[in-house]
């Protein structure tokens, strides 16, 4: 009774959503080049987007992992901000850059461990736990320093100003000089994070366990997966990535401020969703998330470039874009499932 199966395996849900995201991003960027020309043609534009969003990319990776596992972490922005402030203060007190990095990782890890423990072993709802984490981190940031603090560490300034120059992706300025594309170190870190998380999700056992847990927690338990440990680790990883993101953020702005990374968690969630991650869990991947971040940023740049100067346009178009993606995903997925149901 062998069924007549087609030769090519149809896309899984994850792959389909990601394909949609990437296609839309490419179309959007190409139309931006076409209609608005100018800045969009230069690779530097892309570099700027990457430079500005390196920390967002990093936390989004963490959030994607957590969401695949069926959870949520709304503390990432606050933790990032706390890490920035802590590292800035530390560096200004005769600190060592390496120790500062360890401090960043340590703070992120600490939050991740506490979140993971409360959510996984005490079975408290993730929203509440990470909400408390967010409150705590924001509060601690202002307790550390209500006023903005700038980094005065020389070694750090050198690090911050280090830029990777890619001359062949540059452009010729009006005065005939060749200006190479400049990319900050933080972007390299972001890409490393992306690649590592990608590998873990696809090729490492723990990564597949995240998917299993998010797909059907009861089943995962019955299949012998240590769900508690898996969930715990997802939050630890997210915390760790928040720590890394904090350091990268500091490398980008060079200052600590209590309003840093405000709303970053929602942007990370939006990026993951646009990239094809389902909040219900079991579906998602970081490549899509990366394009989700790029899509969000591109929209903002398009709005600015097209002369819509009123301050409300950016948010409204971002909201509209989000609405579009959300509806698209829901329609595509429900069509697929309806088709499957009719077959029996």
Partner 1 sequence: MDGKELLTMRHIKKVFPGVLALNDVDFTLRKGEIHALMGENGAGKSTLIKILTGVYQMDDGEVTIEGRKVSIHSPQDAQNSGISTVYQEITLCPNLTVAENMFIGREDSAWIRRKEYEQRADAILSRLEIPARSTQQLGRCSLAIQQMVAIARAVDMECKVLILDEPTSSLDDKEVNMLFRLMRDLKAQGVGIIFVTHFLEQVYEVSDRITVLRNGELVGEYLIEELPQVQLVSKMIGKDLDELSSLKENSDTEKEEGEVLYEASSLSSDQTLPFNFKIRKGEVNGFTGLLGSGRSESVRAIFGADKVTGGIVHIKGQPVKITKPVDAMRNGIGYLAEDRKRDGIIAELSVRENIILALQVMNGFFKPISRSESEAFADEYIKVLQIKTASRETPVGSLSGGNQQKVILARWLLTHPDYLILDEPTRGIDVGTKLEIQKLVLKLAEEGVAITFISSEVEEMLRTCSRLIVMRDRHIVGELKGSDLNQSQVMKTIAGGKA
Partner 2 sequence: MKKSFKNIFSNGLGQLTIPIIAIIILVGFNLFRDPSFFSIEITQNNEGNNVLSGNLISIINGASELAILAMGMTLVTAACGGQDISVGAAAAIAGSAFVKILKAGETISGGRVIFAFLFACIVAMCFGAFNGTLVAVFKIQPMIATLILYTCGRSIAYWINGGATPTFSSSIVNSIGGFIPGIPIPTPVLIVVAVGVIFKLVFHFTSLELMTQSVGINGSAARLNGINSTFIKLLSFIILGLCVAVSGCIGVSRLGLINHETLLLDIEMDTILAVAIGGNNLGGGKFKVGGSIIGAYVIQTLTITLYAMKVSSTDVKAYKAIVIILLVVIGSPVVKAKFGKFMSKLRAGKGTALVKGAE
- What residues line the site for partner 2 (CB under 8 A)? 72, 118, 121-125, 127-129, 131-136, 138-140, 142-143, 146, 258, 266, 269-270, 273, 279-280, 310-320, 322-323, 326-327, 330-331, 334
Binding to partner 1 by CB under 8 A, coded x per residue (else -) over 247-286, reads: -----------------------------------xx---
Between CA 31 and CA 40 the distance in angstroms is: 10
Residue 125 found at the interface with partner 1 (CB under 8 A) = no
Yes or no: say if 92 and 149 are a contact pair by the CB < 8 Å rule. yes
* Helix 185-203 and helix 286-305, axial crossing angle in degrees, nearest 10: 140
Residue closer to partner 1 by CB (options 16, 89) is 16
For partner 1 (CB under 8 A), the number of binding residues is: 37
Closer CB to partner 1, residue 55 or residue 285?
285
Question: Residue 80: which residues within 8 A CB-CB, separation 6 or more?
Answer: 55, 59, 242, 245, 246, 249, 260, 261, 264
Site map (CB under 8 A) of partner 1, residues 186-215, x = contact: ----------------xxxxxxxx-xx-xx
Other beta carbons within 10 angstroms of residue 319's beta carbon come to 11
101-116 core/surface letters (b: 16 or more CB in 10 A; e: else) = eebbbebbbebbebbb
Question: Which one among 122, 167, 175, 341 touches partner 1, defined by CB under 8 A?
Answer: 341
Helix (H) or strand (E) holding 165: strand 163-172
Per the CB < 8 A criterion, the answer to whether 118 and 246 are in contact is: no
Helix (H) or strand (E) holding 149, with range, is: strand 149-150
Q: Is 99 in the site for partner 1 (CB under 8 A)?
A: no
- Which listed option, partner 2, partner 1, none, makes contact with residue 259 (CB within 5 to 8 Å by class)? none
Angle at which helices 97-116 and 154-161 cross, to 10°: 80
Which of partner 2, partner 1, none lies near 121, with the C-beta cut-off 5 to 8 A by kind?
A: partner 2
The helix (H) or strand (E) run that includes residue 169 is strand 163-172
Residues of span 12-71 touching partner 1 by CB under 8 A: 12-14
- Cβ at position 67, least distance to partner 1 in Å: 13
Q: Which of residues 226-245 bind partner 1 (CB under 8 A)?
A: 226
127 binds, among partner 2, partner 1, none (CB under 5 to 8 A by kind): partner 2
| Contact between 342 and partner 1 per CB under 8 A | yes
Residues that bind partner 1 in the complex, under the rule CB under 8 A: 1-3, 5, 9-10, 12-14, 202-209, 211-212, 214-216, 218-226, 282-283, 340-342, 344
């Amino acid at each position: 009774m062998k069924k007549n199966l087609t030769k090519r395996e149809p896309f899984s849900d994850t792959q389909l959503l990601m394909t949609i995201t990437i296609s839309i991003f490419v179309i959007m960027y190409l139309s931006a080049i076409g209609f608005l020309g100018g800045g969009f043609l230069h690779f530097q534009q892309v570099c700027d987007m990457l430079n500005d969003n390196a920390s967002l990319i990093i936390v989004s990776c963490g959030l994607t992992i957590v969401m695949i596992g069926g959870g949520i972490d709304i503390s990432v922005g606050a933790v990032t901000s706390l890490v920035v402030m802590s590292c800035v203060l530390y560096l200004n007190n005769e600190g060592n850059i390496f120790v500062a990095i360890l401090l960043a990782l340590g703070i992120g890890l600490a939050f991740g461990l506490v979140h993971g423990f409360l959510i996984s072993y005490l079975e408290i709802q993730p929203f509440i736990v990470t909400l408390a984490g967010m409150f705590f981190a924001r509060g601690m940031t202002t307790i550390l320093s209500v006023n903005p603090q700038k980094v005065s560490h020389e070694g750090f300034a050198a690090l911050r100003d280090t830029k990777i120059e890619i001359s062949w992706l540059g452009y010729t300025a009006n005065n005939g000089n060749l200006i190479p594309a400049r990319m900050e170190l933080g972007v390299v870190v972001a890409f490393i994070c992306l690649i590592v998380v990608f590998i873990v999700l696809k090729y490492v056992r723990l990564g597949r366990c995240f998917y299993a847990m998010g797909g059907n927690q009861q089943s995962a338990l019955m299949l012998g997966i240590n769900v508690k440990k898996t969930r715990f680790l997802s939050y630890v990883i997210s915390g760790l990535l928040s720590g890394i993101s904090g350091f990268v953020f500091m490398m980008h702005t060079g200052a600590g401020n209590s309003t840093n990374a405000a709303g970053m968690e929602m942007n990370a969630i939006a990026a993951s969703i646009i990239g094809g991650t389902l909040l219900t869990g079991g579906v998602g991947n970081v490549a899509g998330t990366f394009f989700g971040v790029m899509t969000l940023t591109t929209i903002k740049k398009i709005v600015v470039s097209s002369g819509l100067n009123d301050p409300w346009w950016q948010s409204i178009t971002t909201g509209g874009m989000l609405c579009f993606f959300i509806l698209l995903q829901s329609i595509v997925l429900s069509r697929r499932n309806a088709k499957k149901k009719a077959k029996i």
